[in-house]
Amino acid sequence: MGIALRTTATEAFGTMAKMGAIDLSFLDRVTFRDRSLAREVLVLFGQQAESLLALIAEAGDERTRAEAAHKLKGAARGVGAFDVARAAEEIEAAKDAAEFGAALAHLTIRITEARIALTGLIRTG
């Protein structure tokens, strides 16, 4: 026999904040504490992050890669995904294939962490 546990939307947002992938105090400021707006912005960011990550990974030239990383950095900063933004900066700064490979792996991890947090935030309240 199992016991069902229920959490409020506020508790769920708090749990996601502790994960650190999204700075919820920043997100609250830019969305005026409107949870519906925050969810909408996060959905858009999640979609954009995935498409820009694919573009970065598949780019045939440094300029395309750097432009996509720069867009991702700005989008991430706009929603409080500061770890994603820092990882995108590593892509911009990569000087050779080895640095790019390491930066891409780091960016992929940070986007995955953000997507996990986004899923939790979008499903709450």
Question: Quick one: CATH architecture of 9-14+21-123?
Answer: Up-down Bundle (1.20)
CA distances from 53 to 7, 93, 102, 118, 123 (A): 33, 16, 14, 16, 23
Q: What is the pLDDT along the chain (125 residues), one digit of tens a residue?
A: 444 444 455 555 555 555 679 999 999 999 999 999 999 999 999 999 999 999 999 999 999 999 999 999 999 999 999 999 999 999 999 999 999 999 999 999 999 999 999 988 888 75
| E strand or H helix at 100 | helix 97-123
**Which pair of structure tokens corresponds to residue 6?**
């229920």
**Which pair of structure tokens corresponds to residue 16?**
């996601």
Angle between the 82-93 and 97-123 helix axes, to the nearest 10 degrees? Answer: 160
pTM of the entire predicted model: 0.84
Break the chain into its structural domains and give their ranges.
Answer: 9-14+21-123
Contact by Cβ (8 Å): 13, 124 = yes
